[in-house]
Structure 1
Amino acid sequence: MNVVILGGIGFIGQHLIGSLQTNANVNITVFDRADPKSVDFAQDITYVQGNFTSGYDFRSLLHGADTIVHLISTSVPGTEKRVQDEITSNVIPSSELFESAVAEHVKNILFLSSGGTVYGDNGAVNSSEHDIPAPINTYGLQKIMIEQALHMITHGTETNYQIVRMSNPYGPGQNPFGPLGLITKLVYQALSGNEIHVFGDGSVVRDFIFIDDAVHAVLDILDHGNKNDIYNVGTGKGVSVAQVIEAIDAAIPETLHLVRERSRAVDVPYSVLNIEKLNAISTLDSYISLHEGIDRTYHYFKDGQQ
């Protein structure tokens, strides 16, 4: 199988590639804007450096591909752009990518959407794939627009799709200085003795999933999931920011230096996913616990400093 991974140098991409490399029958091409020298990829991986923009020659990139994994987004929650900018930077290039995939007779497209933003504020209810999306930020809006474009462009063609609405992945390999990854950032900041800035009173609830489990879920969807369908990926359990801080404080010897900040309008109070559909196809026996995930993340950074 020939797989093209767009955004393969990112956090999820690198872990996904690491898992796919264990299969000798999978040929991997990575597309990313980053310098390939910054990542220690195996020599048998093809790397294409380029910018994800309208007008790019996606047909050449996808020629001979069986599966596409689309992980690229030019924005993340907290760094959202204007609606027009999101459409220009993400929706239009994605649409051109999907049109090229159809033209090149690609069998399947897996698109990484956002379980944490597309549903908006559902109250204290676990969001299901059947719920009507109602994003309250432009990041979630562009994800929904791309989902709809993928459905429309592939409809009636031989190209199938799978949409993954992922919650909040964290763990080793995630950038602790980036805007994403609350647990990863808090663990790193605590280990480094830095101030930990927390938005609001800590009551915001999220669905956190360790990166190994997140990638396992993506592979299960690729291998066993329905075509032309949507899957939530998370643990199905909510944890408040305050509980995360308590767990980190209990798990590591360093002292936490907390600084409270005003809550943000883009943060919905409760965002947890219903994962019944994923569980029906999952080969995972159990999820890595919050305590174990924090411990693994802590030792990843701790060992790196030694």
Structure 2
Amino acid sequence: MRKIVVLGCGFLGNKLIDSFLGDPATTIVGFDRNVPGQSHDRVQYVQGSFASGYDFASLVRGADLVIHLVSTSVPGTEKRSLDEIQANVIPSVELFDACMAEGVGRLVFLSSGGTVYGSSPYRANRETDPPAPYNTYGLQKVMIEQALQLTAHYGDMQYQIIRLSNPYGPGQNPHGPLGLVTKLVYQAVNHETIHIFGDGSVVRDFIYIDDAIQGILDIIARGTVNTIYNLGRGTGASVAEVTAAIERIVPERIIIDHEPARKVDIPYSVLDIAKYRQITSLRRFISLEEGIRRTYAFFTESRQ
């Protein structure tokens, strides 16, 4: 039996756990501050706080693969640099040390493709581009990446770092700070005013959740170890283009309110995914329009 430990049972974590259940030779441990109420005979949920001093050794004991998805903040809610380091970087280093001590074969860290590169000259960011985080959330991601690389350098544990862009779709909390596309579709379905910062010219790389999960699985199964992969669609869409697509697809009347632009929003962030394309199992990515249709269908059917 292969044992996988997933730290973080949110949007991505739960989808990953579901995907691993397709292999009957795999058992899964899911760790989070809040764990799902449902159970499965091959999933054990462990409730705990991702914090310095936690017994990570017991959590990862016997694991073949550990996937680190936890962050105590998200873009827009980040704290001072010192707070981010204490809340995210130090526990991550303790986790890495525990994995090394317990003989974990590989650790996969989900980093941020949207915040570690900083402002680009209107071209897609490559894995070889130097990090230039523009907020403390990106800073802690870069520090964790480097701590993982350094830890693995002095041992036998393999690692993979995945810089994910902006996943969206069914299962994402439409009331949370992440998931612009999910949030806007939900607001349209429920006749809520859509608030846009600035003129809508900010460009991001949006990837539908099914493609994001398959991309993570591809990198684990087919990717090179001890390296970094960008994961997105590799195509940018402005906020204005997203809202225009929603207006075309969603039959409800859309109400848009423009608010002052925010300094934290860099104008352009798109990922170069040439490296991932070399190993992908996807024949094509789900288009933004199709992703909006699927998300709209989910909200109208479930009426959340």
TM-score normalised over the length of structure 2: 0.98
**Shift in alpha-carbon separation, 1:265–1:159, aligned structure 2, 3 A:** same
- What stretches of structure 1 move > 4 A for 4+ residues in a row? none
1:264 pairs with one of 262, 265, 271: 262
Q: Does the CA-based 8 Å contact 2:111-2:162 persist in structure 1?
A: yes
Question: Which residue in the other structure is 1:55 paired with?
Answer: 53
Q: Does the CA-based 8 Å contact 2:26-2:42 persist in structure 1?
A: no
> Residues of 2 paired with 1:134 and 1:66: CA distance?
33
Q: CA-to-partner distance for each residue in 1:119-176, whole Å, 9 max, x for gaps?
A: 0001201000000000110000000000000001111311010000000000000000
Matched, 1:107 2:105: yes
> Residues of 1 paired with 2:81 and 2:245: CA distance?
37
> Residues of 1 paired with 2:204 and 2:303: CA distance?
29
Question: Which residue in the other structure is 1:253 paired with?
Answer: 251
User: 3-state DSSP class of the match of 1:120?
Assistant: coil
Q: Does the CA-based 8 Å contact 2:198-2:258 persist in structure 1?
A: yes
> Residues of 2 paired with 1:78 and 1:262: CA distance?
15
Q: Does the CA-based 8 Å contact 1:36-1:49 persist in structure 2?
A: no
Residue 44 of structure 1: how far off its partner (Å): 2.2
Look up the equivalent residue of 1:6 and give its one-letter code.
L
> Residues of 1 paired with 2:39 and 2:224: CA distance?
31
Question: Which residue in the other structure is 1:119 paired with?
Answer: 117
> Residues of 2 paired with 1:172 and 1:198: CA distance?
22
Look up the equivalent residue of 2:6 and give its one-letter code.
I
> Residues of 2 paired with 1:303 and 1:214: CA distance?
23
> Residues of 2 paired with 1:252 and 1:268: CA distance?
28
Q: In structure 1, list runs of 5 or more residues that go unmatched.
A: none
> Residues of 1 paired with 2:41 and 2:291: CA distance?
30
Look up the equivalent residue of 2:87 and give its one-letter code.
S
Question: Which residue in the other structure is 1:233 paired with?
Answer: 231
Q: In structure 2, list runs of 5 or more residues that go unmatched.
A: none
Q: Does the CA-based 8 Å contact 2:5-2:30 persist in structure 1?
A: yes
Matched, 1:70 2:71: no
Residue 263 of structure 1: how far off its partner (Å): 1.1
Question: Which residue in the other structure is 1:134 paired with?
Answer: 132
TM-score normalised over the length of structure 1: 0.98
Q: Does the CA-based 8 Å contact 1:5-1:69 persist in structure 2?
A: yes
> Residues of 2 paired with 1:62 and 1:36: CA distance?
19
User: 3-state DSSP class of the match of 2:74?
Assistant: coil
Question: Which residue in the other structure is 1:283 paired with?
Answer: 281
Residue 41 of structure 1: how far off its partner (Å): 4.0
User: 3-state DSSP class of the match of 2:159?
Assistant: strand
Look up the equivalent residue of 2:27 and give its one-letter code.
N
Q: CA-to-partner distance for each residue in 1:183-229, whole Å, 9 max, x for gaps?
A: 00000000001111101100000000000000000000100111110
> What is the CA RMSD across the aligned residues, in angstroms?
0.9
User: 3-state DSSP class of the match of 2:244?
Assistant: helix
Question: Which residue in the other structure is 1:220 paired with?
Answer: 218
> Residues of 2 paired with 1:5 and 1:41: CA distance?
15
Question: Which residue in the other structure is 2:32 paired with?
Answer: 32
Residue 43 of structure 1: how far off its partner (Å): 3.2
Look up the equivalent residue of 1:251 and give its one-letter code.
I
Matched, 1:292 2:290: yes
Identity of aligned residues (%): 56
Q: How many residues align?
A: 303
**Shift in alpha-carbon separation, 1:35–1:15, aligned structure 2, 3 A:** closer
> Residues of 1 paired with 2:167 and 2:109: CA distance?
16
Q: CA-to-partner distance for each residue in 1:9-41, whole Å, 9 max, x for gaps?
A: 20011111111111111110000110432xx34
User: 3-state DSSP class of the match of 1:288?
Assistant: coil
Q: Does the CA-based 8 Å contact 2:35-2:45 persist in structure 1?
A: no
Residue 293 of structure 1: how far off its partner (Å): 0.3
> Residues of 2 paired with 1:19 and 1:62: CA distance?
20
Question: Which residue in the other structure is 2:5 paired with?
Answer: 4
